[in-house]
Each structure stands twice: as C-alpha cells, then as structure tokens.
Amino acid sequence: MSELEKALRRDAVVADLDALTHRFAERAAGEGLLDIAYAELDSPLGRLVAASTDRGLVTLSYADSGVDPVLERLAAMISPRVLEAPARLDDVQREVDEYFEGRRHDFDLPIDWALVHGFTARILQATARIPFGEVSSYRGVAREAGNERAVRAAGNALGANPIPIVVPCHRVLRTGGALGGYTGGVERKKHLLALEGVLPR
C-alpha cells in the first residue's frame, strides 16, 4: 500500500459512536421505525434480555448464551427492526426488581404473545393465570388449555416459554409435586418457588 493510500485511510477518523447510536435508537422510535426495543436487565438469577413491541413484553430470556440468539429469533419471527433502547424497558426492569424484592406479586406488564401460537399459546396463557405462591401441574394447565391428555405437549410448551418469571412456568410442577424441568435450569425454579414461599428458603 502506498503512503498516500495509508494517509487516506488515516484521515477518515472514527469517533466514539455509542452516544450517536443511542440517539439513533431514540430517533428511530420517534419515527415509528422501532418494531422491537430490547435491553439487558439485571436480576438475582443472572442477566436477562427483555424485549418489547408496541403491544407489550414479547420476551424475557435468561441470557446464558448471550444476547444474539434472542435477537436473532426476534428478527426471524417478528421483525428485523430490533434496536437496543433500554429506556423503553424501564417498566419491565422496575417490576422485575419489585418482584425479586418481594414487593410485587402480580406483574402489570402488557404481554405480546407473538412468539407463541396455537396450543403453546393456550398453555402459557393458562399458566399466566396461576397466582403468586400457588402451583399447578402439567395436567392441570393442559386441562385449562382445553386438552387434559396433552400432558407432554404442555411440558414442551412450558419449556419453550419466551417470557419466564412474568409468565410463571415455574409454578407448574409434576403431578405428585416433583419439580419437573425449567427453561432456565431447575436451580432457578427452586429459587423462584422459595421466593414465593412454596419451597422453604
């Protein structure tokens, strides 16, 4: 490469672009171009990725494998117009904080069910109605969703819950009281059930 070519590269400077990018997300929201806003949230169970559409909270995922898989799923299933816009998830962070501090039993967040369909959606909507501190069984939510015999399908649906904690799939146990599985690992299920007084702390 000649000196001139090097100089041309050098003279095209770079600034710190983070501030510029944040302002961009705000402007995109203002112009109605932000289909999905997301933020990384802190919780006692680790980092979470929260994402909202105009209709409500669409996912609250454990970020064990990082943020990218969550964003890729949102882009493929809803819209590729996905931007980091933490201010738009302030309500979610606040309610999650209050829940873990024991000051909130019911979430008031509107839910967007766009990531789930059919029987899975009905299972998760039935699960959303189980009150704080109570539990149901896979058979119980299958019955609520209109097919008592679809116990295995109910288990699959709960394992695919895109909005754990807020849609409390941790409140669904196996018949007889065994814990069963959990989307974020069974240790987290125990933690949540202890927080709600179902298991001893």
Residues making contact with other proteins (CB under 8 A): 2, 4-5, 7-15, 17, 20-21, 23-24, 27-28, 31, 33, 38, 68, 71-72, 74-76, 79-84
| Residue 76, CA distances (Å) to 17, 116, 117, 126, 150 in order | 27, 13, 15, 26, 28
Closest to other proteins by CB, 20 vs 178, is: 20
Q: Where are the beta strands (DSSP E) in 81-168?
A: 82-84, 136-137
Rg (the chain; Cα; Å): 21
Say how many CA atoms lie within 13 Å of 133 toward its Cβ.
6
To other proteins, the closest distance from the beta carbon of 133 in angstroms equals 37
To other proteins, the closest distance from the beta carbon of 2 in angstroms equals 7
To other proteins, the closest distance from the beta carbon of 74 in angstroms equals 7
Closest to other proteins by CB, 6 vs 149, is: 6
61 DSSP β-pair partners: 49
To other proteins, the closest distance from the beta carbon of 60 in angstroms equals 17
- Out of 124, 169, 173, 192, pick the active-site residue: 169
Contacts of 179 (CB under 8 A, 6+ apart): 173, 186, 189, 190, 193
Closest to other proteins by CB, 9 vs 117, is: 9
To other proteins, the closest distance from the beta carbon of 8 in angstroms equals 4
Closest to other proteins by CB, 17 vs 178, is: 17
Q: Where are the beta strands (DSSP E) in the chain?
A: 36-41, 48-52, 57-62, 82-84, 136-137, 172-173
Burial of 154 (0-12, 13-18, 19+ CB in 10 A): buried
Q: Is 168 a catalytic residue?
A: no
Closest to other proteins by CB, 16 vs 108, is: 16
| Active-site residue list | 169
